[in-house]
Structure 1
Amino acid sequence: MRDAAPSGLPSTHTPAPHGGDQALARTLLNDEGLPADRVLPLLETARSTGQPLADLVLAAQAVPEAALARAHARLTGWTVIDPTMDRPDARLIDRIGAARCLADGVLPWRSIGGVTFVAVAHPRRFDTLLPMLEAGLGPVRPLLATEGDIERALLALRGKALDRAARTSVAPAESCRDWGGLRLWSVLTGLAAALLASLILFPLALLWLATAWAIATLALATMLRAAAAFAALRRQPPDPPPPAIARLPVVSVMVALYHEADIAPRLVRRLGRIDYPSDLLDILLVVEEDDHVTRAALRRAQLPATMRVIVVPDGGLKTKPRALNHALAACRGSLVGIYDAEDAPAPDQITRVVERFHARPERVACLQGVLDFYNPHTNWLSRCFTIDYAMWFRIILPGMERLGLAIPLGGTTVFFRRHILEQLGAWDAHNVTEDADLGMRLARHGYRTEVIASTTMEEANCRTIPWIRQRSRWLKGYMMTYAVHMRRPRQLLHQLGWRKFLGFQIFFATTLSQFLLAPVLWSFWAVPLGLPHPVAGQLPPALQLATFTVFLSTEAVLLAVGVMALRLTPNRINPLWVPMLHLYFPLGALASYKAAWELVTRPFWWDKTHHGLFDPAEPAPPGQT
């Protein structure tokens, strides 16, 4: 390295000029020749909203990035560089952390004469980041580069390393990333051969076995649903007043976006309603490097100061958990939450989450919010989906929590203590139901999840084929999660204890079995229709009565829980829609066969659900549950 700064580089740091928006506006008008009718309205917006004029100019595409960099250079006297042509020293990036550099839009460039030169896109950003930069790099001096050049340079130098870290954050023993290979195919080939032989040699015995298992798991599922309903609806003593919070924490919220060009502006408006103090709210919009459509939409959306875009380096694996793992390193908060692209959370939700975490011991590592829909009346499928979600989030999940069972998380409106999330390796990037998997890993390591009575409204998937595709992804993830955690059953039992272990077995075994073996149970409709049935007609009277009791109890519990759940949701749906679930659940059987096939052929493929199709109007802010 040279001992002196080359010509054109500053030898001392001159702070960015204060009140720079007006000076920047004059420079854009006089030196870049922008018309006044384009600059002055943006300057007025900057004054009224507090957003930097530079951000507004770029969002409005009023000037190219290079021209804005030249304007900043005229005001500050700093040098503009192109790091894509004059490559930075990657070792300096590692001292700050590539993820942090990417999140803050800062690029350590070269170390010359004991001083590190650091490029930023906006002068104000350098002053804000100066303490962090000096802590990691020692004496620093500023340079200017466009945001696009900084991002491209960082991804070119450290994109592969960032991708690898996001894919392998979970311990191998608790990850599904090694799923597949010759061993799996050998096992599946053996099972397929045994099943085919049984069908040929012992078809009736196989049918008897499938029927017995289907009825047994149906009985267990009914008992779990009934027990959860009793626990959830049992009156609880009121919580004591929460202790006063001396200092509110910073809360980071991540939203993974992929091909969401139409929903991005609405997302910005909905999350903008959150009433937590803006200086303590850190919203990360996480987007893939090659998703140019969504990135362009976010640039046009004029993001407020609480929101920033995090670019995920390109990689062969395109899953939500991989993107979240990457963005987690860029979070600034001690609490971390997840929303989906179409979510409209209650305005006071973050405040209530902070209060609940403050009132609970460290062992409560996760809070799961309640999900509901803002388009429940679109068609019959949206009504059934609403009833399904109402039963799950308002009765089954709270009941499982009160029964002391491990909770499979939802993929949105879920909040964590960040240090515990990082301790567990965050999300398994290869699991397409990363939320359920993380819920089990939290329980395995001795942590608890609680359901918080705050609602997020989202869009019901109300088209048949997309619904099947979405549900198949969830069921594929359930299959994968069960297989991963059952690699060492004794260790799982030791970690969970008998109660949670049995709950884990019942939940996953009944959920998957009921969908996969649904046709076996449907066949019993032949009996009341007077048609012959190869099993029912051979059962002794006592077993016939027991089977009839299981079927009747299942219907009664399903109807009762469905009606009770509807009373707890703000959506006004006639209870007579509850019996329509008999036409709704068969779609899940189709989804389960798709899931089983993909578990073998495409285990890590993320079947993307598209949103924004049935949302013509902005939903009203949700109330409390």
Structure 2
Amino acid sequence: MDKETNEARALLYAREETVRPRRTPGSRRRSERPLFGELAVEAGLLPADMLTPALDRQKRWGGSLGKVLVSTGAMSSADVARLYGRQRGVPCVDLRDEPRDPALADPEALDFYLEEDCMPWQMRAGETIYIAGNPDKARTAIATREGRHLPVFVTSQSGLRQTLARDFAATLTDRAVFGLMRQMPESSAALRLTQTQIRILAVCAVFLLAMLPSFATTIVTSINITLGLVFIALSGLRYTSIFVGLTSPPSREEMAYENQGTPQDPELPVYTVMVPLFREARVLPILARALQDIDYPASKLDIKLIFEESDPETLAAAKALKLPDHFEFIVVPDSLPRTKPKACNFALPFARGDYLVIYDAEDSPEPLQLKKAVAAFEEGDKKLACVQAQLNYYNWNENWLTRQFAIEYAAFFDLLLPTMVRLGMPIPLGGTSTHFRTALLREAGAWDPNNVTEDADLGLRLALLGYRCGVIRSTTQEEANCRLPNWVRQRSRWIKGWMQTYLVRMRHPLRLYRAIGFRGFMGFQLLIGGFTLSSLVHPLFYVAAAFAIAKNGTLTDFNHAGLAVFNALVLVSGYSLSIAAGMAAVSARGLFPLLGQTLMMPVYWLLISIAAYKALWQLITNPFHWEKTEHGISSMLESRFSGSDEKLASEGAH
């Protein structure tokens, strides 16, 4: 092996397997390689009195001392790279001062660069020099790929990944936008309706129009009754969730943490946390505080803050927080569609964790949530691809709208989703606090960039592939939408995404039925199809009942009277069952002031119908438009914002 190769032998994050007794630098034998911690003190990068606490933390968490120091903000990734280079006698490359030669990198080798955390840097003396975040790990793989041993220098991992994201932006964007379409075209919402679906709808429409003149009353009555039964069935599912969700035995993974706990910190796997951001500068301090409060070894957290190129303000606000270097910033180039799932797809190749969770900008997850998810995955079988945490709101009592929103979320996440899991039905995942096995997420094609409710779609796609999703008892607090226009934008996007999901999954209904079985298929029809349909048509029951009663000013016509009674019963029974579920959910969560507010659900549902009609219009005219929800507008934000801001400032000063 040549001299240059010998000089390049390096390890960015050299693992110190045991914590050795401290010695002064002068007492070290010449034959020994200098210890990383002692080098850090000698270089003035780490105060001497901080070395022992850092070594103690390394012992508790496991992993290298360098990762511990980076994740606690004691040192930067670039400083760690330089120290390891000095420790091993290896050149260290700072890509800000010595950029790579763009002619050397092969876009088709991007997966190799990402997997091995390396890339070709420059040519010297006719030899290609590679840089790597972990040269000892990458050296053998590089030699295998190139057919010979090459020099491998060290560089900071964060700088390397930023360079890969920037220089291979076109390739990463292409994969983010078109990856699912190429891998599973039948699962992509890029096409609203297939030719088969168009033909079926056309035949049904022609048949209906042909029959209407002769059987108008019969057809209208039949449609009315069918829709009423769907509405009652959906409400019945909600009512059933009271008993199944609250009294039936929970699944094994649901209570795995309480029953089994998790492995010791040194044995915990690396966990990727991804947070897509767009115009979120206002809530960034709260997010940063929440992520730093997570009860998980910081050296094993792989945090990705994902920014849009068209939103430099949020990126600037994040840089101003001076977060530790294990918070990695990924900037997504501006391209269509401008959606959250596309941004997540762009960042996914950089994920290093065995598990991965998505959070929204305003989220404050329970500190133990990641450990609870690990326990669930450890307890579950290999078909458990995802677990969904519960969602609710810190500002639930701010106004009438937030109170109704909190009732809805409690009924959905605390009762309905656990019920569907226990009954063996696939679940539509929420848009946040969804924890995945990273390998299975990639196998499933990740997120559909054209579906504006990406996780609801992904939950069904995982079920179609033979995997399942579970739930865990851990709550993420969010900011409930407290302004009606903002709420309508958010809700119309959600319903439009459910419409997209239903149309995509019903391209092959028999295939779906065989994959998820009778109960799963009926659950899908009721929840995704039934909820969307009832949101659109349930106001018409008021109109139909009023029209039937007002017909000739009497109830002497039996058909009209019977239909009026039926529609009235649909509304009363549907609302009663749903209100009962809402009461049970808020009682179980301890939100007793909301009990009386459940009686206002009929008014709230009319608002949902307004959003549903907007969603239907956008599905036709602008299907991939992402209606941005404004965060940080709650009157209760100031106390949370101020507290988080002060804590971050004090920690930065310290």
Are the equivalent residues in 2 in contact too, given 1:116–1:141 (CA < 8 A)? no
The answer to whether the 8 Å contact 2:239/2:580 transfers is: no
1:131 aligns with 2:136: yes
1:350 aligns with 2:370: yes
User: Does the CA-based 8 Å contact 2:294-2:366 persist in structure 1?
Assistant: yes
2: CA distance between counterparts of 1:48 and 1:146?
11
Q: Report whether the alignment pairs 1:467 with 2:487.
A: yes
Q: Is 1:453 aligned to residue 473 of structure 2?
A: yes
CA pair 499-100 structure 1, distance change in 2 beyond 3 A = same
Q: Match for residue 120 of structure 2?
A: 108
Residue by residue, what CA displacement relative to the aligned partner does 1:277-307 show, whole Å, maximum 9, x if unpaired?
1122222112223331121111111212442
Are positions 1:577 and 2:589 aligned together?
no
> 1:83·1:145 contact (CA, 8 Å) conserved in 2?
no
Query: Within 1, Cα distance between the matches of 2:161 and 2:609?
Result: 45
Q: Deviation per CA, 1:481-534, whole angstroms, max 9, x where unpaired?
A: 111111111111111111211221122231111111133112256389978689
CA contact (8 A) 2:90 2:153 kept: no
Shifted more, 236-245 versus 249-258: the winner is 236-245
Letter in 2 for 1:276: Y
Compute the TM-score of the two structures, normalised by the length of structure 2: 0.76
Relative distance call for 1:506 and 1:235 in structure 2 (3 A) is closer
Does residue 13 of structure 1 match 2:8?
yes
Matches within 5 A, 1:252-291: 252-291=272-311
Contact 2:250-2:422 at 8 Å conserved across structures: no
TM-score by length of 1: 0.80
Aligned to 2:146: none
- Name the residue aligned to 1:40: none
In structure 1, how many angstroms separate the alpha carbons of the residues matched to 2:272 and 2:164? 23
Task: Indicate which of 153, 156, 160 corresponds to 1:142.
Answer: 153
Match of 1:212 among 222, 225, 240: 225
Aligned residues: 570
Per-residue CA distance 1:555-593 (angstroms, 9 max, x = gap)? 321221111111122445331111111221111111111
Moved more, 76-85 or 161-170: 76-85
Return the alpha-carbon distance in structure 2 between the equivalents of residues 536 and 305 of structure 1: 77
Is residue 339 of structure 2 the alignment partner of residue 324 of structure 1?
Answer: no
Confirm or deny: 8 A CA contact 1:286 1:323 kept in the other structure.
yes
Match of 1:37 in 2: none
Cα separation, 2, equivalents of 1:322 and 1:339: 15
Query: What SS does structure 2 have at the residue aligned with 1:616?
Result: helix
Matched, 1:177 2:177: no
| Residues 87-131 of structure 1 deviation map (CA, whole Å, 9 limit, x = unaligned) | 341228826646569xx7x65323445753346xxxxxx5x5223
Structure 2 unmatched ranges of 5 or more: 13-33, 47-67, 144-149, 645-654
- 2:57 matched to which residue of 1? none
Structure-1 residue corresponding to 2:263: 245
Q: Which of the numbers 220, 238, 246 marks the counterpart of 1:225?
A: 238
Aligned partner of 1:378 in structure 2 is: 398
Q: Which residue of 1 aligns with 2:524?
A: 504
Question: Is the CA contact (8 Å cut-off) linking 2:277 and 2:307 kept in structure 1?
Answer: yes
Q: Which amino acid aligns with 1:216?
A: L
What is the match of residue 173 of structure 2? 163
Q: Distance in 2 between matches of 1:610 and 1:590?
A: 19
Equivalent position of 2:638 in the other structure: 616
Matched-pair contact (CA < 8 Å) for 1:98–1:158:
no
Closer, same or farther in 2 for the Cα pair 1:346/1:156, shift >3 Å? closer
8 A contact 2:269–2:353 mirrored in 1: yes
Mapped to 1, the partners of 2:100 and 2:250 lie a distance apart of 66
Q: 1:421 to 1:96 in 2, by over 3 A?
A: closer
Question: Quick one: which amino acid aligns to residue 110 of structure 1?
Answer: Q
Matched, 1:494 2:505: no
Does residue 591 (structure 1) correspond to residue 611 (structure 2)? The answer is yes
Q: Secondary structure at the match of 2:179?
A: coil
Name the CA distance, whole Å, in 1 between partners of 2:408 and 2:573.
18
Percent identical across equivalent pairs? 34
Query: What does the per-residue CA deviation read over 1:447-477, in whole Å, with 9 as the maximum and x for residues that have no partner?
Result: 2211111100000012111111111111111
Q: Show the counterpart of 2:650.
A: none
Q: Is the 8 A contact 1:162 1:313 kept in 2?
A: no
**Structure 1 residue 140: Cα displacement:** 3.0
Distance 1:22 1:461, change over 3 A: farther
SS in 1 for 2:472: strand
- The yes-or-no answer on 1:427 pairing with 2:451 is no
Structure 1 residue 233: deviation in Å?
A: 2.1
For residues 469 and 489 of structure 1, the distance between their equivalents in structure 2, rounded to whole angstroms, comes to 30
Q: Which residue of 1 aligns with 2:60?
A: none
Give the drift of 1:326: 2.0
Instruction: Give the alignment's Cα RMSD to 1 decimal.
Output: 4.1
Q: What letter corresponds to residue 51 of structure 1 in structure 2?
A: G
C-alpha deviations, 1:235-281, integer Å up to 9, x for none?
42796843873732221111111121212222111111101111222
Conserved in 2, the CA contact under 8 Å of 1:243 and 1:358? no
- CA contact 2:100–2:121 (8 Å) conserved in 1: no
Q: Which runs of 5+ in 1 are unaligned?
A: 27-45, 58-67, 120-125
- In the TM superposition, residue 553 of structure 1 has moved relative to its aligned partner by 2.1
Whether the aligned pair in 1 keeps the contact of 2:401 and 2:482 (CA below 8 Å) is: yes
In structure 2, relative to structure 1, the CA distance for the partners of 1:300 and 1:201 (3 Å cut) is farther
For 1:100 and 1:459, how far apart are their aligned partners in 2?
37
Between the aligned partners of 1:341 and 1:159, the Cα distance in structure 2 is 24
Higher share in helix: 2
Task: Say if 1:218 and 1:510, in contact at 8 Å, map to a contact too.
Answer: yes
* Closer, same or farther: CA 12–534 of 1 in aligned 2, 3 Å: farther
Q: How far, CA to CA, are the matches of 2:461 and 2:555 in structure 1?
A: 40
CA distance in 1, matches of 2:425, 2:461: 13
CA distance in 2, matches of 1:357, 1:220: 33
- More off after superposition, 258-267 vs 480-489: 258-267
Does the 8 Å contact 2:545/2:567 carry over to 1?
no
Q: 2:114, 2:542 → 1: CA distance?
A: 52
Matches within 5 A, 1:87-102: 87-91=102-106, 94=109, 97=112
CA contact (8 A) 1:527 1:536 kept: no
After TM superposition, give the deviation of residue 314 of structure 1 in Å. 3.4
Indicate which of 483, 489, 501 corresponds to 1:481.
501
> Does the CA-based 8 Å contact 2:544-2:567 persist in structure 1?
no
CA distance in 1 between counterparts of 2:555 and 2:497 reads 33
How far residue 415 of structure 1 moved from its aligned partner, in angstroms, is: 0.8
Q: State how far apart, in whole Å, the 1-side matches of 2:565 and 2:541 are.
A: 16
CA contact (8 A) 1:482 1:508 kept: yes
Equivalence for 1:439: 459
Separation in 2 of the partners of 1:502 and 1:536? 39
2:100/2:122 contact within 8 Å kept = no
Secondary structure of the structure 1 residue equivalent to 2:486: helix
Partner SS state of residue 262, structure 1: helix
Q: 1:478 to 1:421 in 2, by over 3 A?
A: same
Distance in 2 between the 1:249 and 1:257 partners?
26
Q: Is the 8 A contact 1:98 1:162 kept in 2?
A: no
Cα distance per residue 1:194-245 (max 9 Å; x no partner): 9899999987666535423331211221222222222112242796843873
Corresponding position of 2:73: 51
Which range moves more in the overlay, 572-581 or 185-194? Answer: 185-194
Supply the distance in 2 between the matched residues of 1:481 and 1:536 (Cα, whole angstroms): 44
3-state SS in 2 of match to 1:564: helix
Task: Answer whether contact 2:548 2:560 (CA < 8 A) is retained.
Answer: no
Report matched runs for 1:284-323 at 5 Å. Answer: 284-323=304-343
CA distance in 2, matches of 1:204, 1:480: 32
Is the contact between residue 163 and residue 314 of structure 1 (CA under 8 Å) also seen in structure 2? no
Structure 2 CA distance for partners of 1:92 and 1:412, relative to 1, 3 Å: closer
Indicate conservation of the 8 Å contact 2:395/2:402, yes or no.
Answer: yes
